[in-house]
């Protein structure tokens, strides 16, 4: 999801050859990373109000767009474990550790 999540920083139209070369290198690195299939993806489900309570200085409209688009990220078909990020942290951590343990046992 360009522009919403971690991705190339050097976006836009290059104003000189050096910037164009840096943009090309950065795009190539991100293309290589995007081609990788992770062993496991842990996806934390969180609602906009929870995010805003934790990060009140963030733009609500941008956070809303991010919350809406995270479920669309597929990570090249990697197995995805969904965890409710609004539950107590200790429970969240235990679920994540159990998911990692299962994934490693199957690898």
In the predicted structure, residue 19 carries a pLDDT above the cut 90: no
pLDDT digits (tens, 9 = 90+) for 66-84: 999 999 989 999 999 999 9
The set of residues, in sequence order, having a beta carbon less than 8 Å from that of 59 and lying 6+ positions away, is none
Query: Alpha helices of 44-88 — where are they, by DSSP H?
Result: 48-54, 60-69
Closest by alpha carbon to 48, among 33, 65, 36? 65
Give the global pTM: 0.73
pLDDT digits (tens, 9 = 90+) for 84-106: 999 999 999 999 999 999 999 99
Domain segments of the chain as ranges:
7-36, 37-106
pLDDT band at 51 (very low <50, low <70, confident <90, very high): very high
Q: Residue 45, SS3?
A: strand
The set of residues, in sequence order, having a beta carbon less than 8 Å from that of 50 and lying 6+ positions away, is 85, 86
Alpha-carbon distance 18 to 21, whole Å? 5
């Amino acid at each position: 999801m360009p522009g919403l999540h971690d991705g190339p920083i050097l976006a836009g139209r290059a104003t000189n050859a050096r910037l164009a070369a840096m943009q090309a290198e950065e795009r190539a690195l991100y293309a290589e990373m995007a081609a990788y299939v992770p062993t496991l993806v842990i996806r934390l489900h969180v609602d906009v109000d929870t995010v805003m309570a934790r990060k009140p200085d963030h733009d609500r409209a941008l956070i809303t767009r991010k919350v809406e688009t995270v479920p669309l990220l597929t990570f090249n078909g990697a197995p995805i474990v969904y965890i409710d990020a609004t539950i107590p942290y200790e429970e969240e951590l235990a679920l994540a550790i159990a998911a990692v343990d299962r994934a490693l046992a199957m690898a």
